[in-house]
Amino acid sequence: MSQLTHINENNQPGMVDVSPKDVTRRTATAQSIVEVGAEVMSLLTDGEIQSKKGPVFHTAIIAGTMAAKKTSDLIPFCHPLPLHSCKFNIEASSGTEITITCTCVTTGKTGIEMEALAGVNGAALTLYDMCKAVNKAMVIRETKLLEKTGGKSGDYAAS
């Protein structure tokens, strides 16, 4: 097993020193699936759910973007990164699942995977919050990194 990058030789946590790294274009796409149930899916009209709190998907995208921008405030050892792009796709399946994807882009010395993961989680939590009056049994599941590009470790795609 490789050495954890956030633990030093004295077994103490800390930020990784990225100063020697090259600046490269980096992208990451993450996904979260939310099992919302039939009750919530019955509210879907023209690709959106309208709630008393407003349009659910649109609000989730805004919240997800805010979460991606604040990742270094949420995760202790994340470096603050300029977020050049943060795009979302929210799709309802024919069943009772809603799939959220977030793709983030930057140029920097460290990866942007955590921003994409924070983005989908922020969007999923917002979807849950806005629909919980209809179904408190919703499940946010299968949050994962789908792919990343750039950096020393190269490209990654989930299998």
Cβ atoms of 105 and 84 within 8 Å: the answer is yes
CB of 148 within 8 A of CB of 102?
no
Known binder of ligand: residue 79? yes
41 assigned to a ligand binding site: no
Within 10 angstroms of residue 51's Cβ, the number of other Cβ atoms is: 17
- Has 84 been labeled as part of a binding site? no
Q: Is 48 annotated as a binding residue?
A: no
CA dist., res. 112 & res. 150, Å (int): 10
22 is catalytic: no
142 known member of a binding site: no
- Catalytic-labelled residue, pool 17, 22, 129, 155: 129
Return the number of other C-beta atoms located less than 10 Å from residue 95's C-beta. Answer: 10
* Token duo for residue 1: 């097993």
Q: What pairs with residue 54 in β-bridges?
A: 51
Q: Catalytic residue numbers? A: 129
Residues of the binding site for substrate: 77-79, 114-115
Residues of the binding site: 77-79, 114-115
